[in-house]
Structure 1
Amino acid sequence: MAENTVKEFAEAIGRPVDSLLDQMKKAGLDHKSEEQKVSEQDKHTLLEFLKRASGSSDEPTRITMTRKTTQKLKTDGRKSVNVEVRKKRTFVKRSDVEEQADKAAEAEQEAVQKAAEAEALQKAEAAAEEKRKINEKARREAEEAARIALAEEEAQRKAKQEAKAAEPALDAEAQKKAEADKERRKQDEKRRAEQARKARSNPVVTSVEDDTREEPEEALLKNTKVAAADDKPKTSKPGNRKSAGGKKTGGKREDNFDDRRLSRRGNKDEKRKGGRRASGGAARAHGFEKPTAPVTRDVLIPESISVAELADRMAVKGSEVIKVMFKMGAMATINQVIDQDTAAIVVEEMGHQPKLQKDNAIETEVIDTISYEGTEITRAPVVTVMGHVDHGKTSLLDYIRRASVADAEAGGITQHIGAYHVETSAGNMVTFLDTPGHAAFTAMRARGAKATDVVILVVAADDGVMPQTIEAVQHSKAAGVPLVVAVNKIDKETADPERIRNELSQHEVISEEWGGDTPFVHVSAKKGTGLEELLEAVLLQSEMLELTAVPEAPGKGVVVESRLDRGRGPVATVLVQNGTLRKGDIVLAGLNYGRVRALIDENGKQTESAGPSIPVEILGLDGTPEAGDEFMVVKDEKKAREVALFRQGKYREVKLARQQKAKLENVFGHLEAGEVASVNIILKSDVRGTVEAIISSLKDLETDEVKVNVVSSGVGGITETDANLALASDAILLGFNVRADASARAIIEREEIDLRYYSVIYELIDQVKQAMSGKLAPEYREDIVGIAEVREVFRSPKLGQVAGCMVVEGTVYRNKKIRVLRDNVVIYEGELESLRRFKDDAAEVRNGMECGIGVKNYNDVKAGDKIEVFDKVRVERSL
């Protein structure tokens, strides 16, 4: 399209040229004269600026177009009539239509679901009514059969009495009558057998939901009476005579043999068919009687339970529970899970006694079965070495155990918890935990203090008390652990032990020489000076603590460290505090469990067992437990798995609750203080303790404006899953002493994901700090660039009020913000309407020159006022 000049564009849109130029300057365009060309891109930029300024940057969601056309119609008289045709069409934004369609679909789906639930409830009620009718019919048939049987029995009794009365005069006619009675009884037996066969083929309808067979009480009781009456032997006077009850052979009755056999066969059929009972009184022998009083059960209710399981524990149908809940105002389905309180109310409503199950019932049951009783012996002390970085902690321990640890660490810094035991010259054993001294590992040092008996605080004699030294003192006091201060580097010329005593006394660590209870020992890790005295002081402190353990008890202790080994799987370093840990034991450690496949000491050799105060590595767990988790030996592997799964479920619930809470807090925080910037991080390390320490250090960098969001963290190499997660969450991948595999590297290179490797924690923290600094909102500083003093005020018919001014300081600019000051008090803040030198517009007026100034939207400028021109300068911030 052809470009227009500013003047042509102003005429086209009906705006003054000066006003249009002012708006273009505010939009960031460099047009200053009316002859400059205006491109399509400039027009779009100006349009976007005007939309933002008016607050209506959103696109319209509905557009209505109207079209008018005029046609000529000829009438019969050949006259032409003008007819105007109007067409109106409305276009709706597709997203709105789709949203309305989604809402309609959701409403329809909800209506279908409610209709299905109502239909299911109606079907259940219809089935229950049908079952009641069938049972009522069976009851009536059973009553009729029982009545017939009683009538027959009465007839037989009368026949016996008549036969007994007519016995002296028995003749041939009586003999014929007896034969007829016998034949009639046989016909009755056949009829009853036929009824039993039909009843077995058509049993009473039972409930489909819980498969519980039911039969009316009256029919059951009367069937029992009929069976008893039929099985009762018929007796007559002694003798080899035939009676009305049947024939007698060898003193035994045989007329009811078929009945008894039929009854036994019916009982077997009942057992084989799952307890189905025949109607009509045919299946006579059974042991069930409906209770005359309601049965009250003790129902065990966990934290959450489904409606079906709750109904099963109360021995009722699921539909009954749903009806009770519906009457209480709670809608539920058969598979819906309800909480413990709701289930308890339902159980009480249905007449049973609820028994609430505790959260940790499974865990408590397993722990209570473990016995730690036995003969107590004195165990070796567990000593934690703490202190500031580079004060000689690891070198001191190296001299004691004649090994080198710091050489294998990156940068000579101990970044893992080391655990090992040594034998002293006196034959006593001491177990050492070497915690790192850097501030990033505060959590690891705190965990070491909780798992230890005595703390050795190493302080360099030439350096004095440092921040991490103070933290170590605080951790040991919080754990209630006694201190032994080792004043290291005593062989240096600049060593000053008295300075150490003075500085530590300010933190309530008083030496024994000054009347306190903390021993101070002067040592040299380089020459080995004073190490024997240090060990003696440690053993003395342990004797005062009276440390004991039961070796024959099952092993129990704390997890010191865990990692994922490529060849061996999860490996956990544990410290046995009580009992004995043996190869083959089933161990429950935090959220994980497993059978110990191997025990490895600190020298890398396999061992069969580890007693109290012995650190070992164990193989065989199903995962890497958290450093600081307690472990214990249990007897049953099934129980250990149940407890581990229970703990994992609780951990997920707590984690999910925290995430939901954090999301809500972020929402309200954003509403109150604006959007909070965050740096997303995915962290992978070689050991679990390092992961926790790095996360803790990164959290310390957070401010109210910038947050650290650890999307995922774990132990082991960087996998394809980590790379995809970083891509989805726009996170930075950080690897500490680990590397990415081939599939992960392919995704990282293709998607250009930010991946960084570190082996020293200082570099990691510094770079994350820089990334967080880039997320900080910049600050703006106001600089006063010029001051003009008003000498006189003039009135112009075109421009309105114009102030004649003299620039007394700096330079006055046309396009910068201004303030009007009267007696050095700000009375107005805004912009300049015009700036002129004589009759010409000026962009700026320097110091010592006169000018005319028009203040926009303000007409109360007076002589003597000062117009202050200022500028806002952006200042970048850093943490």
Structure 2
Amino acid sequence: MAEVTVKELAKVVDTPVERLLQQMQEAGLPQTSPDQQVSDDEKQRLLAHLKQSHGESVVEPRKITLKRKTVSTLKVAGSKTVNVEVRKKRTYVKRDPAELEAERQRELEELRAAEESRQQAEEARRKAEEEARQALEASKQAGQSEPEPVAKVEQPAAAESAPASAPAPAVPVPEVTPADAQAAAEANRKKEEARRKALRSDEEERNRKRAGGHAGKEKSRNSGRIMDDEDGMNRRRGGGGKLKAKKRNQHGFEKPTGPIVREVVIGETITVAELAQRMSIKAAEVIKYMFKNGTMVTINQVLDQDTAAIVAEDMGHKVKLVRESDIEDQLTESMSHEGELTGRAPVVTVMGHVDHGKTSLLDYIRRAKVASGEAGGITQHIGAYHVETDRGMVTFLDTPGHAAFTAMRARGAKATDIVILVVAADDGVMPQTEEAIQHAKAAGVPIVVAVNKIDKPEADADRIKHDLAARQVIPEEWGGDTMFVHVSAKVGTGIDELLEAILLQAEVLELKAQPSAPARGVVIESRLDKGRGPVATLLVQNGTLRQGDVVLAGFNYGRVRAMLDENGKPIKEAGPSIPVEILGLDGTPDAGDEMTVVGDERKAREVALFRQGKFREIKLARQQSAKLENMFESMGQGEKKALNIVIKADVRGSLEALQGSLSDLGNDEVQVKVVSGGVGGITETDANLALASNAVIFGFNVRADASARKVVENEGLDLRYYSVIYEIIDDVKKALTGMLGSDVREQILGVAEVRDVFRSPKFGAVAGCMVIEGIVYRNRPIRVLREDVVIYEGELESLRRYKDDVAEVRNGMECGIGVKNYNDVRVGDRIEVFERIQVARTL
């Protein structure tokens, strides 16, 4: 790498030049100005200094892993393409220089020892040849004949072919003394020993060369890689290497001597593939076994617990039966709720009919202006607030009053301690008022009736008492147990008495909670915020919720990253009866889901995934059941016309209310099909889904982003924004009415009675008639009735009054009627003139 200046280096590493010069001086480098050069070694010194100052290790990595990924496109049949991804991974290990040097020295010593052994063998061979030559000369001097020549040591094969112990035969010579014979024999013996020693030396030298060659090849082939130390040492020694290699190449698995018995865990349902996997056998064996027992199954067939247990036991395994709810039970058992019980604030739900003043009443209590900001002047979300009074804190839940939000009001009743039933004194008991009473009684919650708008001239509080008494809500002054308070949310009349009644009722209930226990509560509302992600409004019912806790809410879980109160201010913890907004969940839970704090995030994820899987199974089973039940009913009938809708809302509760209200619309011929529903803005995915399913996009208090608007404009999709639920329901009703078409109805316009029949050469039989009902028109269809039975249906050929052609003849006047293509008109027949009109159908 070329040298760079200090200024250029500072620009590369994105740091000020002064700061870089200071760090270089701390590292002991000589640079003092921005224009001085910096070498590669100085960069390394600076990097090592910075790592050491930050507490990092300056030791270079000994192992480097390189990964490479390539993606290519493969065309298959038609225009379909498949992306092929190839991944490669290679690891390089840098060996210690000391180890490499030690290994090199060891190899040099082995080569030096081999060379010394070779030289010793060469010396021994020369000595043996010299001794043999001396022995031969001695035998010649003794007068003996020359013995048979010995095989050369350079030819070991010939030497090995001769018997090792056979001495070289000598030609007998007469007149040899015993001393000469003994000397010759000693010479032959020495010569034979020298030959054997030379052969052994040559064999050892060849083994050393062979071992050294193998080691050199392995060294060159595996340069830069880790070798098997034990195998390498054996090869270098020249002994035991083959045996070690043979042992290394053998696998470590051996065929079991007997069947392996496994413990198979079986839930309430299990597929054939899962059962085979838990028994460590192939799925084909399970299918074969069940076929032999008369049951035809597939690999994805779902088996019940009893059947799966029988199969596993018959195949020689132990069975452990578990219930699907065990994971939920374990979670409940793991949660500790020990702690001292203390009093808590009451949770009060405000219910009532639309426009009876629920939010205005709460608005006066909170000293805020909530009702003025509501779309259409109605509340469409569940609001949670807590207020401080002189006698303690009170938490309020404001529920919508419109009929579409029945489920939301029902969840409000389940989460509350006391219900305030708001009834307008000038309007009386309405349908949603009765519904609120039913929800409160079903939840077993006491009711406090707030008779609102008492300041109006037309207010009649006694009529409200009579109407509610007829619905089993009896005032205390009439011998009942329900407190009635006359209030005015506009001027503040009776607000203090209402709070007094609420706190008095709370004292009677003796509400308790454990602040030291893990938090438990209920989801009031949830929405998807573009900048913050899923935001859930929770009401803590027991324990204390803290920032950083792991929360499980319905199908969703997550760690609480931030907590906000109802005014948007961040808080660190929330005790019983406190509503909070939390951030950190992985999705938007449904309003009404139970919220619990879990100690282990892994356990929370496991329970959430289990709940999601269980919900999918139930949903799929319901769909299959609905298909089977409706299959025979729909045979022979035309399919229903469906209005496909994609709905996006701002909060989960509004989405559920919209889906429920729209799904209830329709009849036997038309229906509303919600293709997709979600929380948050309208995205490009929603627009593409609406395009594919030919659906209308509804945005409730949300808007489409730029990419979604582009798809809508290019494809001409129908995108509509709403902020009040009335408008959505009305528009969908109009659309369904248009899909119904119209009915054709017949309307009788007039009746003429035939008094005489005339013959005309031009028109044939002409009926002389008297109009007895309505008006007879010439350009309308007719029917000929004889004795009130239709005998012909057609049209008029002519209608005359005297000799003039006329367009119509009124009641009580005579006329001549010529029926087209019909000449069998008789006296006494009636000619009925009618018209067909189309009448629009309604739901």
TM-score (norm 1): 0.62
Q: Does 1:366 align with 2:331?
A: yes
Corresponding residue number in structure 1 for 2:366: 401
Letter in 2 for 1:493: P
- Indicate if the aligned counterparts of 1:802 and 1:854 stay in contact, CA closer than 8 A: no
8 Å Cα contact 1:758-1:764 kept in structure 2: yes
Paired position in structure 2 for 1:511: 475
Give the Å deviation of 1:808. Answer: 4.2
Note the alpha carbon deviations across 1:604-638, whole angstroms, 9 max, x for none: 22222212111111111000001111111112211
**8 A contact 1:803–1:854 mirrored in 2:** no
Is the Cα–Cα contact under 8 Å of residues 453 and 482 in structure 1 kept in the other structure? Answer: yes
Structure 1 residue 851, shift from structure 2 partner: 2.7
> Following superposition of structure 1 onto structure 2, how do residues 99-248 of structure 1 map, counting pairs within 5 Å?
none
SS of aligned partner of 1:339: strand
TM-score by length of 2: 0.64
1:422-437 → structure 2 map (5 Å cutoff): 422-426=387-391, 428-437=392-401
Q: 1:492 to 1:714 in 2, by over 3 A?
A: same
Q: Is the 8 A contact 2:351 2:398 kept in 1?
A: yes
Matched AA of 2:789 = V
Q: Which residue of 2 aligns with 1:543?
A: 507
**Aligned residue in 1 for 2:579:** 615
Aligned to 2:819: 853
Paired position in structure 1 for 2:592: 628
Tell me how many residue pairs correspond in the alignment: 597
Letter in structure 2 aligned against 1:692 = E
Match of 2:252 in 1: 274
CA 312–563 in structure 1, closer or farther in 2 if over 3 Å, else same: closer
Partner of residue 776 from structure 2, selected from 811, 814, 837: 811
Q: Equivalent residues in 2 for 1:256-295 (5 A)? A: 273-276=251-254, 290=258
2-structure distance, mates of 1:779, 1:572: 49
User: Which residue of 1 is the match for residue 119 of structure 2?
Assistant: none
Question: Relative to 1, partners in 2 of residues 1:557 and 1:783: Cα closer, same or farther, differing over 3 Å?
Answer: same
1:813 deviation in Å? 4.4
Aligned match of 1:320: 285
For the residues of structure 1 that align with 2:262 and 2:629, how far apart are their CA atoms? 45
* 1:457 CA drift (Å): 0.9
1:660-691 per-position Cα deviation (integer Å, ceiling 9, x unaligned): 55566676565566443332221111111111
User: Paired residue for 1:748?
Assistant: 712
Q: Does 1:459 align with 2:423?
A: yes
- After superposition, where does 1:703-718 map in structure 2 within 5 Å? 703-718=667-682
The amino acid of 1:515's aligned partner reads: G
Q: Secondary structure at the match of 2:740?
A: coil
- Equivalent residue, structure 2, for 1:831: 794
Q: CA deviation at 1:569?
A: 0.8
Q: 1:731 to 1:328 in 2, by over 3 A?
A: same
* 1:826 partner letter: V
- Report 1:668-707 matches (<5 A): 671=635, 674-707=638-671
Alpha carbons 2:765, 2:818 under 8 Å: kept: no
- Is the 1:845–1:851 Cα contact (8 Å) retained in structure 2? no
Q: Are 1:737 and 2:701 an aligned pair?
A: yes
Provide closer, same or farther for how the CA distance between residues 853 and 842 of structure 1 changes in structure 2, counting only shifts above 3 A.
farther
Letter in 2 for 1:326: F
Q: In the alignment, what sits opposite 1:725?
A: 689
Moved more, 840-849 or 708-717: 840-849
Which residue of structure 1 aligns with residue 383 of structure 2?
A: 418
When residues 657 and 816 of structure 1 are mapped into structure 2, their CA distance, relative to the original with a 3 A threshold, is farther
- 1:586–1:780 Cα change, 3 Å: same
Q: Which residue of 2 aligns with 1:378?
A: 343
Is 1:568 matched up with 2:532?
yes
Residue 829 (structure 2) aligns with: 865
1:455 shift after superposition: 0.3
Q: Say whether the 8 Å CA contact 1:270–1:276 is kept in structure 2.
A: no
Q: Match for 1:875 among 816, 824, 839?
A: 839
Q: Which amino acid in 2 is paired with 1:818?
A: R
Q: CA deviation at 1:765?
A: 2.5
Aligned position for 1:768: 732
Could you say if the C-alpha distance between residues 546 and 800 of structure 1 is closer, same or farther in structure 2, counting changes exceeding 3 Å? Answer: farther
The 1:819/1:327 distance shift into structure 2, 3 A limit, reads farther
Q: 1:556 and 1:677 mapped to 2: Cα distance?
A: 46
- The Cα of 1:874 is off from its aligned counterpart by 0.8
Q: Which residue of 2 aligns with 1:450?
A: 414
Q: Aligned partner of 1:647: which letter?
A: R
Is 1:343 aligned with 2:324?
A: no
Q: Which amino acid aligns with 2:646?
A: I
Which residue identity does 1:423 align to in structure 2?
Answer: E
1:398-448 residue CA offsets vs partner (Å, 9 max, x unmatched): 22222222233223322211111122212x221110112222322211111
- CA distance in 1 between counterparts of 2:804 and 2:266 reads 87
Q: 1:472 to 1:844 in 2, by over 3 A?
A: same
Aligned with residue 578 of structure 1, among 537, 542, 548 = 542
Q: CA deviation at 1:700?
A: 4.0
Deviation for aligned residue 1:487: 1.4
CA deviation profile, 1:821-852 (whole Å, cap 9, x unmatched): 51xx3354643596687999999774521234
- How far did residue 575 of structure 1 move? 0.6
How far is the alpha carbon of 1:651 from its aligned partner? 2.2
Residue by residue, what CA displacement relative to the aligned partner does 1:241-271 show, whole Å, maximum 9, x if unpaired? Answer: xxxxxxxxxxxxxxxxxxxxx9xx99x9699
Q: Distance in 2 between matches of 1:840 and 1:351?
A: 108
Secondary structure at 1:849 match in 2: strand
Q: Secondary structure of the residue that 2:492 maps to in structure 1?
A: coil
Matching residue of 2:117: none
Unmatched runs of 5 consecutive residues or more in structure 1: 1-261, 278-287
Find the aligned partners of 2:751 and 2:525 in 1 and give their Cα distance: 68
Same amino acid, percent of matched pairs: 64
**Structure 2 match to 1:652:** 616
Shift of 1:583: 1.4
CA distance in 1, matches of 2:536, 2:464: 38
Distance 1:668 1:806, change over 3 A: farther
**Corresponding position of 1:77:** none
1:787 alignment partner, one of 728, 731, 751: 751
1: distance between equivalents of 2:816 and 2:764?
A: 19
Rate the CA distance shift 1:696–1:317 in 2: closer, same or farther, 3 A. Answer: closer
Contact preservation (8 Å) 1:814, 1:835 = no
Say which SS state the counterpart of residue 831 (structure 1) adopts.
strand
CA distance in 2, matches of 1:592, 1:557: 14
- Residue number in structure 1 paired with 2:63: none
Q: CA deviation at 1:525?
A: 2.2
Deviation at 1:572, TM superposition (A): 0.3
Give the direction of change, closer, same or farther, for the CA distance of 1:584–1:675 in structure 2 (3 Å limit): same
Q: Is the 8 A contact 2:784 2:829 kept in 1?
A: no
Task: Please say which of residues 391-400 and 842-851 is displaced more in the overlay.
Answer: 842-851
- Compared CA separation, residues 799 and 529, structure 1 to 2 (3 A): closer
Contact 2:781 2:796 in 1 (8 A): no
Please tell me whether the aligned partners of residues 301 and 340 of structure 1 are also in contact (alpha carbons under 8 angstroms): no
Structure 1 CA distance for aligned equivalents of residues 782 and 313 of structure 2:
75
The 8 Å contact of residues 682 and 699 in structure 2, kept in 1 or not, is answered as yes
Q: Aligned in 2, Cα 1:821/1:478: closer, same or farther, shift over 3 Å?
A: farther
